[in-house]
Amino acid sequence: MKNFKKIKRLIFCLSMCFLFFSVTESKAQVKKMSSKDLTEKSTAVLYGKCKSKKCEWNANKSAIYTYITIATEEYIKGNLGSEVVVAVPGGRVGNMLYEVSETPFFTVDEDVVAFVWTNPKGKNLITGGFQGKMKIEKDAKTGKRFVNDPDVDSDNANQKPVPGQEKKAEKLQLEDYVVKLKGYMKH
């Protein structure tokens, strides 16, 4: 009888632990990368337009990848051709949704800067997760294109970052950002 009570108590404790840990939020850790880090770690850096998205299972059906085709306007580093297909972990095939945190999201017809790393098997991936994709915005009045420069925080340049508060990015003209990235390759 004593063993039964011990087993019952153990099952109860394990159940409570399972319930407690299953409702806590889990976040993946991604190493913060500067534009310089992203440029140096990438096989290619480019900007262009997202032309299509297609989700598929991998060969052994253990994961879903979204394949993004980007029509390249210009290469800043490397050259993967006039169109490059980039694999992003996650996506939807039929009724199955496979979500991977910290990965970038692409929209068809969106203009982007992409930092691409080609793995040893030849698959093109985005360097640094969500950090390796930047949306290019166009000013409706001037027609000039901008990106949010993740390396600049002009409002709080001399202040310590506040825990839990996102760093504000500064808009930088695309042409200036390209010059900045090219400068990293000269060192």
Residue 56, domain CATH: 2.40.50
Residue 94 has pLDDT above 90, yes or no: yes
pLDDT at 186: 74
pLDDT at 116: 98
Let me know if residue 98 belongs to a domain.
Answer: yes
Let me know if residue 30 belongs to a domain.
Answer: no
Let me know if residue 7 belongs to a domain.
Answer: no
- Contact indicator for 84, 65 with CB cutoff of 8 Å: no
Q: Do the strands 91-93 and 96-98 form a parallel or antiparallel pair, or are they unpaired?
A: antiparallel
The residue segments making up the domain with residue 115 are 35-158+165-184
Q: How many domains is the chain built from?
A: 1
Let me know if residue 105 belongs to a domain.
Answer: yes
Let me know if residue 57 belongs to a domain.
Answer: yes
- Amino acid 177 reads Y
Residue 15 has pLDDT above 70, yes or no: no
Cα 126 from Cα 12, distance rounded (Å): 44
**What pLDDT, in 10s, does the model give residues 139-180?**
999 999 999 988 875 344 445 555 555 555 689 999 999 999
**What pLDDT, in 10s, does the model give residues 34-44?**
999 999 999 99
pTM of the model: 0.76
**What pLDDT, in 10s, does the model give residues 45-57?**
999 999 999 999 9
pLDDT at 167: 53
Let me know if residue 117 belongs to a domain.
Answer: yes
- Contact indicator for 99, 88 with CB cutoff of 8 Å: no
Let me know if residue 122 belongs to a domain.
Answer: yes
Residue 80 has pLDDT above 60, yes or no: yes
Let me know if residue 12 belongs to a domain.
Answer: no
Q: Closest by alpha carbon to 185, among 44, 77, 43, 32?
A: 77
Q: Closest by alpha carbon to 133, among 153, 155, 107, 152?
A: 107
